[in-house]
Amino acid sequence: MRERQRRGEGKKMKKPVVGVIGNSTMIENRFAVQMVGERNLRAVADVMGALPLVFAGAPDITDVDALLDVVDGVLLTGARANVHPTRFRCEPNAAHEPYDQNRDAVALTLIEVCVARGIPIFGICRGFQEMNVAYGGSLHPEIRELPGRMNHRMPRIASGEVHPDPTVVFADRHDVKLVPDGAFARLFGSDCIRVNSLHGQGILEPGARVVVEGVAEDGTIEAIRIADAPGFALGVQWHAEYDPQKNPINRALFEAFAAAIDARR
Tell me the catalytic residues.
125, 239, 241
Whole-angstrom distance, CA of residue 231 vs CA of residue 117: 8
DSSP letter at 256? H
DSSP code string of 30-99: TEEEEE--HHHHHHHHHHH--EEEEE-S-TTT--HHHHHTT-SEEEE---SSBPPGGGGT----GGG--B
Compute the residue count for the chain: 265
Q: How many CA atoms lie within 13 A of 85 on its CB side?
A: 13
